[in-house]
Amino acid sequence: MIRLDLLEYWSDGTEAKRYRTHTSSAPLLQYSTLLGDSMKAFECKKCGSCCFGEGGIIVQDDEVDAIAASLGITPESFLSKYCRSKNGRLTILTGTDGFCIFYDQEKQCLIHPVKPSPCSLWPFYPALVKDRDTWEMAKEACPGINPECSLEEFVRQSKE
């Protein structure tokens, strides 16, 4: 799971909320359709790599209701069926195939419209650009990040 180190920033939700606020005037989903005049920093290749691995997807309390509603179940059912709590963090379960329980090989994310912050923000994490080693690790892990894009350009585009 490529996000475990990066998700340290998200352990209490503070960074996620700060980042959401910072970008509230420019929804992150628009980043994939950015640019025109320069290379795209990111375009998801739907490889599923970021949905593979154990326990890396943290769910914030204020995301539970929306995900549960999208599944047509109660928040309590969502928590008991699809989440676990460990070290004070609520995370989504992993299936027997090693992927997130909501990952489908054909349909991709089954809760896409309401997926947790770490998923909806990826790869535009503050933690990902904190140093060049982390940035290089992220580029190797996610084929959607344009390998021709510089760290500086990536940061620039993430703020647009």
- Residues in contact with ligand SF4 by the rule CB under 6 A: 44-51, 57, 92, 100, 102-103, 109, 111, 115-116, 119, 122, 142-144
**Sequence-ordered list of residues with C-beta below 8 angstroms from that of 149, at least 6 positions apart, any chain:** 39, 40, 41, 42, 157
For residues 59 and 27, the answer to whether their CB atoms sit within 8 Å is no
Please state the closest distance from residue 120 (CB atom) to ligand SF4, in A: 8
Q: What is the number of alpha carbons within 13 Å of residue 79 lying toward its C-beta? A: 13
- 15 vs 138 by CB, closer to ligand SF4: 138
55: left (phi over 0), alpha (psi -120 to 50) or beta: left
Q: With H, G, I as helix, E, B as strand and everything else as coil, classify residue 84.
A: strand
Between 15 and 67, name the residue whose CB sits nearer to ligand SF4. 67
Query: What minimum distance in Å lies between the beta carbon of 110 and ligand SF4?
Result: 7
CB of 101 to ligand SF4, least distance (A): 7
Cβ contact 62:31 at 8 Å:
no
Residue 112 beta carbon to ligand SF4: minimum distance, rounded to whole angstroms: 6
- DSSP class of residue 36? S
* Least distance in angstroms from the C-beta of 119 to ligand SF4: 3
User: Closer to ligand SF4 at the Cβ: 23 or 49?
Assistant: 49
| Greatest alpha-carbon span in the chain | 47
Q: Which is nearer to ligand SF4, 4 or 47 (CB)?
A: 47
Nearer residue to ligand SF4 within complex by CB, 101 or 155? 101
